[in-house]
A and B are shown apart, each in its own frame.
Chain A
Amino acid sequence: MRRFRLPPLLAFVLRRLLLSIPVLFGVTFICYGILSAAPGDPVRIIMGQHYDPEIAAQITKQWGLDKPWLVQYGRFLLRTAQGDLGHSYAKRTPVGPFILGKFKNTLLLTLVAMSIAIVFGMAAGIVSAAWPRSPADAALMLLAVAGISIPVFWLGMLLQVYFAAKLGWLPVSDMSYSGDLGSLWKSSGSYPAFWWQAYGRYFVLPGLTLGTVPMAIIARLTRSSMLEVLNQDYVRTARAKGLSWPRVVLTHALPNALIPVITVIGNNFAALLTGAVLTETVFSWPGLGRVMVEAISQYDYPLVMGGVILMACVFVLINLIVDITYGLIDPRVRAA
């Protein structure tokens, strides 16, 4: 009997997805455990001044908050397995659609930030590595180390004060639109001037702020990865047969230096999607990070847990994509 074999790529993806299940379990377990340790009573916080013990007891019972936390956690898992993330306590809407909408806003901003980071970060790294120890290299790498050291929220404040408040080129913040940015994009897309006025210009400063740290990290890593490759024999061979230096750098060295850079791009993408809290706060961006911080302070357990699950899934998915990309660009990995 011939044994059935999955295609290697599919087998790899399936294996990785199975391996991520305990991680997702762990994330929800830790999060639920810590949240339940807090003595705060979500019902009391939501009712605020209108607190009424009788109604509070009723709601507590309805939400299952009177049960031990392991029971609550079990119920939560069952519900989640059925695709239901529950209702937000404070927002009084279903968690799933709500966080997906906010996540889209964060995703749009992250895409802008990462595009800036990849283009300028890699360019800086390549220039530095192609002419090491030149003044350009020194200047770019000093900028890069400054870039990983600058506090993002402070950078955001400086950009706001200079480009928005002083020069008046760009809006300070306040999209003044807290709904789904994606639909606004579609509705304003056909008139470029209107699109820029209502939409595009709001992305410039937050995108730059959010993109600075990954830009600096990508620049540093591209440089060191390129330097390693540029020392290889085949680079010398290519140079010896008369190719120009820029050509050798871009066509012979760069593709081979990309692998560690792709990992870092993936990691940073995941980090931005899940950790843009500070930038979102400075620019009043209607994204997931701010919603999460608010939800934590309000003991809005369903919202927090929904957000944490979404972020952990995104994290697992991006890592998977990075690993698949490896296989596609590096034949050595594919063979193994």
Chain B
Amino acid sequence: MQVLRRLWSSPLTALGMLLVLLALLSAAFCNVLSPFSPVRQYRGYQFKPPGTQLDEDVRVAARAEGDRPGSAFALGTDIHGRDVLSRVLYGARISMLVGVVATLLNLLIGVAIGILAGFYGGWLDSFLMRLTDTFFAFPGTLLAIIILATLSASLGDNYDPGMLGLFLALGLTGWTGIARVIRGTVLALKEREFVEAARAIGCGNLRIMLVHILPNCMAPVIVLGTMQVAYNILSEAGLSFLGLGVQAPSASWGGMLADARPFFKENWWWGLFPGLALGLAVLGFNLFGDGLRDVLDPRLRARS
């Protein structure tokens, strides 16, 4: 409770929390919030600027076919006559899902490796840290691209790995920083008296790691996790921008920007709003992470 109050008291952190909340709400309720179907193409309404009214008879026809259209395209339409606002709202769902699930996978791998390496030391530590170095030395997002390309090839042309591919590609690659920080934290923790006390009353290694050490790693885990969500959202958008992420006609921010790029000058709304949504969501997680860090674990400041 006290933590929450301290977070709210900083205006930037409060802004961050607000943006995160908006993104999560949009992801959860995009089917209710969006005024149009994200994939329905309104013929005759291609490239309409923001605020274009929808003709009454088109509306009635669309309603008869199961869409429940609003009265106007608030943020304009794209090349196929699809509503940009609805697609931006639906894009939040993919971004948030991939961001959060990939981060959970990052944390699972990173924390497990960090705790094992820090706790046991010796050859296991050396091996795990070399493994971490190896993944760290892998150039940029290239490993994610290779994993994604291999997955989609393995599944054949008829099945799109979609989100699962993104979960794996980003989840298996972004954990190195977490593993290093957790290892450092565990190295310091395992010398503390409470670990010795736990051992004295007969706790096994596994129990000490899970019950005594893990909870004490929570501050860096929460801080790094929040910032990792931001990173994963950006990476997902980048992969989708390259055409490697979720495939059309699904609405993802990166994919929308890739489609809008050739038409950006004349149809600025199509390229502006998805980018704005993406940037603001990432900004939200970064500001929130900054605030969490200052409150929970200021020592991390030097590392990020």
Contacts and interface: CB of A to CB of B under 8 A. Distances in A.
A271 B139 CA distance: 7
A275 B153 contact: no
A19 to B, nearest CB: 8
A81 interface: no
B142 A40 contact: no
A30 B268 contact: no
A146 B283 contact: yes
Given A39-B153, A224-B301, A153 B146 contact: no
A92 interface: no
Say what secondary structure dominates the interface of chain B: helix
Interface string B207-249: 0000000000000000000000010001001100110000000
Contacts, number: 138
Given A27-B134, A38-B154, A278 B241 contact: yes
A34 B283 contact: no
A289 B173 CA distance: 18
Interface in A284-315: 289, 292-293, 296-297, 299, 304, 307-308, 311-312, 315
B149 A153 contact: no
Interface string B33-45: 0000000000000
Contact of B139 (A24, A142, A153, A275): A275
Nearest to B298: A224
A224 B147 CA distance: 37
A94 B248 CA distance: 36
Interface size class for chain B? 35 or more
Nearest to A275: B140
Contacts of B264: 157, 160-161
B154 A151 contact: no
A225 interface: yes
A152 B131 CA distance: 29
B102 interface: no
Interface of A: 22-24, 26-27, 30-31, 34-35, 37-40, 142, 145-146, 148-154, 157-158, 160-161, 165-166, 221, 224-225, 228, 260, 271, 274-278, 281-282, 289, 292-293, 296-297, 299, 304, 307-308, 311-312, 315-316
9 shortest interchain CB distances as A-B pairs: A275-B140, A274-B139, A26-B134, A311-B139, A154-B275, A149-B283, A149-B282, A38-B150, A38-B153
Given A35-B150, A40-B153, A151-B238, 10 more contacts: A31-B138, A31-B146, A38-B154, A145-B283, A149-B282, A154-B275, A158-B275, A275-B140, A277-B140, A277-B242
